[in-house]
Structure 1
C-alpha cells in the first residue's frame, strides 16, 4: 500500500491533520493543497492514485476544480467532500463522474472505506461474487448518503445483509473490513434518520408497521379464511439470523410474503413484545392496564401478561377467534409442546413465543454463552442455525405443515454486537439495560444517544415527573464511571439490545403456506 499517493484539497486542510496522520500510519502518501488552482497545477506535475476534494472553497469551487481535473486526467478517481446536502450539488458531482461523495464531518473510517472501495479492485474481483459486490458497493454508498424514508432504510439494510451472507465464506480479511466499515457508516446515518423521524411516525399518515400495529396490520389479515394459523415469535432474532434459518423451513413451507417492520424503542422485550400482543404503545398499556404493565423499576417479570394483553387486543379488534398462547423458555417445555402439538389443530390461531436466547444461554447473564461461542455476526448466525436445526421448534413447524397450518414467523427486536463504551451517570433508580436508560438526572455524551426528554412524546411511560429516556446509537453500550474498566471488558463484544441500530429495529415478519 506504500505506493498509493493521495492528493487532498481543502482550504481548511490544517483541521484535517488527524485524518492525514491516520492514513500516513497506514502507509498512504498524502500531498495537501489549499485551493483548486493549486490542485490543478499539482495534477500536471504529479501522479496521484486518488483525489479528495472539498466542494466549498474560495476561488475555483470544488465542482469547477473537478471539471478541470477530469479534463486533464479523466480516469483519476475524485472523491467529493462537502458540508452541503443540497441535491443539485450532489447531482452535478455525480454527473461529473465522481468516485464517491462524502458529507462533512467525515470520520477516518469513511475515508479508509472510500480508499479501499476505489483502489483495491484487484483483490475485490478475485471471484464473481466479490466482483458483483464491488459493482454494487458504490451504489450502496451513494444510496446511503441520500436515503430519506423508512422504506429506503429497510431496503438498504436488506441489501447489506444480502451481501454479508453472500460474502461470508470468502476468507478475505480486507473484504470483511470493508463490509464492516459500510455497516458502521450505515448505522451512523440510520441513527441520524431515527433522531429526526421517530417521533413523527406516531403522527404520520403513512408510518411504518411497528410493534404495536404488527398484529392488526400483518397477522389479522391472514386469519380471514378458516385455515388454522401458527404464529411464532422468536425473541431477539435479527434479520441476518432469520435468513440463516429460513432455508430449514423451505422443505415444508412456501413463502407467500415477507416484509421488514420496525421495533419500537426501547428495542427491549418488555416494551416491544408487550406492544405486539397488546396492540398498544407502553404509555397506553400503563394507562389502560396498570395491573398488567410493569415499569423498569418494578419488581417481578415484565412479560408475564402477554396472553392477557393479546386477549384484550382481540376483543378490541372485534374478531372472533379460537386461540391459544404458549411461551417456551426451556428445552423441556419445547419438547412437551412438540409432543402435544396435535391438540392445537382446531384452533384458528396458535401463538408460540420462543425464547431462543434463553435456550442458548441457560444462565441468568443473558448472552454469557453467546459471548463464548459467537464473538462476531458470522459465528452468531452459525450458532442460531445449529440451535434451530436441533430445536423442538423445527419439529413443531414440521407438524404444523402436516396439519395444514399457515405459518407466520416474526420477532420482537434484534440485537447488536456492542464494541465501544459510552459513559453515563444516573441515580440508583436508573434502569439497568446497557443500550437504553430511563431515570432522573441522567448525564451522558450527547453525540452517543437519542435523548427523549419527555417520554410522552414517543408514547413511553415516565417513572416519575422528571424521567427521561436515552437510547444508545451505533455499537455503543452504556457504562458507569465506577468500576468502569471491569464493566467495559465484561460487556464488550456481547450482543445487546434496547437502542437505535438497523440490527435492533428493522426485523422480519414472514408468512408461509404449507407445501
Structure 2
C-alpha cells in the first residue's frame, strides 16, 4: 500500500525519472504526464492525493491547469514547480490555492520535504503528540500522587486540558483512552482534596485559601482598574477552561493575552450562588444577611440573578472603590446582543464596563432538552466546537472587534464550569428537597455517604439555611443525583448531559484571562 498517490505533470518529465524513482523508493506511487489536458482527464478518473505541477507547459499553462483541477476537486493539494520567481506569478498562484511552490531546478529532497509537509503533517503531529504525552504521563501521575495544594491542582488541570486538546490531533484511540482514565483519576483525587479543605477556605476565612468567586474582583480585577484606560470585564457564563482554550486563538487575533489564570468557583457551582458571590464579593450567607429582601433561595419564585449590579455597587462601596465609574450590561438574547454591538463605543468613557453574557449555560440546558443538540454536542470535543462556532458569529465578538483598535484592557472570566455526568446516585428526600442534579438541599436527605460531600450545617460553607435542619449535598466527579421514583427514566434522560453545581475540576477550576489591545 503506497503512502500516497502523486501525479507529476511536466513537459520535460523524461529528465525527472531519477526523481520519480527516488519518491517511489520512499513509498509513494508516482504517475507522470506531460501536459495539462491529460492531467485534468487523469484527475477526473483517478483518485490522487497530491499534484506536482510544472508552471510552464505548451498548450495549457500550469496556472490554467491548476484552476481546472481545483474546479474538479477543491481538496487536492497542488505544488507548483516554476522557473519564474516573479512576485505577481506567486501572488496569482497563492491566490489560486496552491499548497506549496518549488523553484526549478528541484532536488529530490526538496520534493520529499514538500510532500511530507503537506501529506504527512497530520500523521507526524499525531505521532509526536502521542509520544510527548507518553513522556508526560509519568510526571502527571507523580503530581497527582504528591498531595498537591490548590495552586498545583490548577496547574494539573491546565496540563490535562492541554493534552486533551493536543490529543484531538492524534488518531490514537488507545492514548486518548489513557488520557481519559488519567483525567478520571485526577477528578477522584481532586474531589478528595476539596472535601478535606473546602470548609477551611470559606469558614473561618483562611489566610491560605485560593482566589474564589467571592474574592475574584478584589484580587484579580479592581487592582488593575485605572482612570486612563477603560477595562471591560466580560463574564461568559458556564465557560470551562477547555472552552476558553478553544476560543483563545480568536481573541489572540485582536488582543494581546497578558495572563491566563484560573480561580475556584464556590459551591454550589451554580449561577445563583457563584455569580452572586462574584459580584457581591461575599459568600451567599453574607449576601442573605446584608440583603434579606434581595436574596432568593432555590425554591423561591422569581429570578435568582437579578440583583448583580446592586450587589456590585455595594462591593465597590465596601472596598472604598466607589469612585470607579462603571456600567453593567446583561445579554440574555440576540436582540440584547445587537444592542451591545450598537452601544459598545458609548462605554469607552467608563473606567469599568461589566458585560454578563449568557450563552454557554443556555447551550448546556438546551442540550439536555433537545435531541438534535445531544447529537451535535455529544462529547467534550463537539461541545468545545459548538462554543467556538457560536463565539465566532456572536454579537459579543462583533462588539469586541469594534473596540479592538482602541486602548482598552479586557478581563474575561466565568461563574462556574460544567461536567458531563455518567454515574447516577440515588437520593431520597422530602417534598422540600431541591431538584438540582449536582447538588441538593433539604431535610432528612438519604444518600450514600461515599457519593457526595455532605454539609450538615450550611453556615459552615457560607450558605443560607433555607429551612430549619436543611443540609446540602454535592455530587462528586461525574455523578448525578436522582430520586427513586421514576428512577430509570431520569437516569437515562440525564446521562451524558453537561451539568453543574457539584465538585469536579471542570466545574470548580475556571478561567480568568487578562488581555489588552494590541
TM category (shorter chain) comes to 0.7 to 0.9
Task: State whether structure 2 residue 472 is matched by structure 1 residue 469.
Answer: yes
Gap runs ≥5 in structure 1: 1-122
Structure 2 unaligned runs (5+)?
1-122
Q: SS at 2:466's partner residue?
A: coil
CA distance in structure 2 between the aligned counterparts of 1:182 and 1:362, rounded to whole angstroms: 28
Counterpart of 2:136 in structure 1 is: 136
Instruction: State the alpha-carbon separation in 2 of the partners of residues 366 and 209 from structure 1.
Output: 34
Change (3 A) 1:264 1:227: same
Counterparts of 1:254-293 in structure 2, within 5 Å, are: 254-293=256-295
* 1:427/1:440 contact within 8 Å kept: yes
What is the aligned counterpart of 2:316 among 309, 314, 317? Answer: 314
Asked whether the equivalents of residues 237 and 361 of structure 2 are also in contact (C-alpha less than 8 Å), the reply is no
Q: What is the distance in 2 between the residues matched to 1:243 and 1:227?
A: 26
- Residue 146 of structure 1 corresponds to 146
Say which SS state the counterpart of residue 328 (structure 2) adopts: strand
Measured in 2, the distance between the counterparts of 1:437 and 1:495 equals 17
SS in structure 1 at match of 2:258: strand
The question of whether the paired residues in 1 share the 8 Å contact of 2:130 and 2:172 is answered with no
Is the 1:124–1:131 Cα contact (8 Å) retained in structure 2?
no
Q: Does 1:181 align with 2:184?
A: no
State the alpha-carbon separation in 2 of the partners of residues 130 and 327 from structure 1: 43
Partner of residue 449, structure 1: 452
d(CA) in 2 for partners of 1:232, 1:367: 28
Q: Deviation per CA, 1:444-481, whole angstroms, max 9, x where unpaired?
A: 11111011001111110111220100000010000111
1:18 is aligned to none
Aligned partners of 2:361, 2:242: CA distance in 1, in Å? 19
State the shift of 1:339 in Å.
Answer: 1.4
> In structure 2, do the counterparts of structure 1 residues 416 and 437 end up closer, same or farther at CA, with 3 Å as the change threshold?
same
Q: What's the TM-score once normalised by structure 1's chain length?
A: 0.74
Q: How does 1:374-393 map to 2 (within 5 A)?
A: 374-393=377-396
When residues 476 and 186 of structure 1 are mapped into structure 2, their CA distance, relative to the original with a 3 A threshold, is same
Deviations 1:83-142 (A, max 9, x none): xxxxxxxxxxxxxxxxxxxxxxxxxxxxxxxxxxxxxxxx99971111010000011111
> Residues 338 and 395 of structure 2 are in contact (CA less than 8 Å); yes or no, is this contact kept in structure 1?
yes
Q: Which has the larger radius of gyration?
A: 2
Structure 2 residue aligned with 1:406, among 381, 386, 409? 409
How far the C-alpha of 1:241 sits from its partner, in A, is 0.2
Match of 2:491 in 1: 488
Alignment of 1:62-141 (within 5 A): 127-141=127-141
Q: Deviations over 1:182-233 (max 9, x none)?
A: 1111000001000100111133212100000001111101103421011000
Give per-residue Cα distances to partners, 1:351-402, cap 9 Å, x unaligned: 0100013553795966776433211111111111111111011111112322
Question: Shift of the alpha carbon at 1:148?
Answer: 2.7
Alignment partners' CA distance in 2, 1:383 and 1:495: 14
| Shift in Å, 1:427 | 1.1
Whether the 8 Å CA contact 1:455–1:468 is kept in 2: the answer is yes
Match of 2:341, SS state, is helix
Alpha-carbon distance in structure 1 between the residues aligned to 2:214 and 2:371? 30
Distance 2:128 2:366 in 1: 43
2:265/2:508 contact within 8 Å kept:
yes
Instruction: Give the Å deviation of 1:332.
Output: 1.6
Matched, 1:420 2:417: no
Matched, 1:250 2:238: no
1:395-439 C-alpha deviation (Å, 9 max, x unpaired): 111123223221100000000000110000111111111000011
Residue 231 in 1 paired to residue 222 in 2?
A: no
Distance 2:370 2:306 in 1: 21
Aligned mates of 2:394, 2:239 — CA distance in 1: 15
CA contact (8 A) 1:360 1:387 kept: no
For 1:364 and 1:167, the matched residues in 2 are separated by 24
Q: Provide the aligned C-alpha RMSD in A.
A: 1.9
Rate the CA distance shift 1:188–1:458 in 2: closer, same or farther, 3 A.
same
| Aligned mate of 2:334, from 331, 340, 362 | 331
Cα separation, partners in 2 of 1:124 and 1:363, compared to 1, 3 Å: closer
Distance in 1 between residues matched to 2:235 and 2:326, nearest whole Å: 15
Of 211, 214, 218, which residue of structure 2 is paired with 1:212?
214
Q: Give secondary structure in 2 for the equivalent of 1:230.
A: strand
- Cα distance 1:353–1:125, how it changes in 2: closer, same or farther (>3 A)? closer
1:343 is aligned to 2:346: yes
Return closer, same or farther for 1:426/1:254 CA change in 2, 3 Å cut-off.
same
Give the structure 2 partner of residue 478 of structure 1. 481
Cα separation, 2, equivalents of 1:368 and 1:199: 39
TM (norm. structure 2) is 0.73
Stretch deviating more after TM superposition (393-402 or 338-347): 393-402
Q: Secondary structure at the match of 2:253?
A: coil
Report the 3-state secondary structure (helix = DSSP H, G, I; strand = E; otherwise coil) of the residue aligned with 1:351.
Answer: strand
| Inter-CA distance 302–369: structure 2 relative to 1 (3 Å threshold) | farther
CA distance in 2, matches of 1:446, 1:393: 43
List aligned pairs for 1:492-511, cutoff 5 A. Answer: 492-511=495-514
Q: Which residue of 1 aligns with 2:25?
A: none
CA contact (8 A) 1:124 1:130 kept: no
Partners of 1:254 and 1:367 lie apart in 2 by 38
Measured in 1, the distance between the counterparts of 2:366 and 2:257 equals 35
Partner of 1:463, secondary structure, is coil
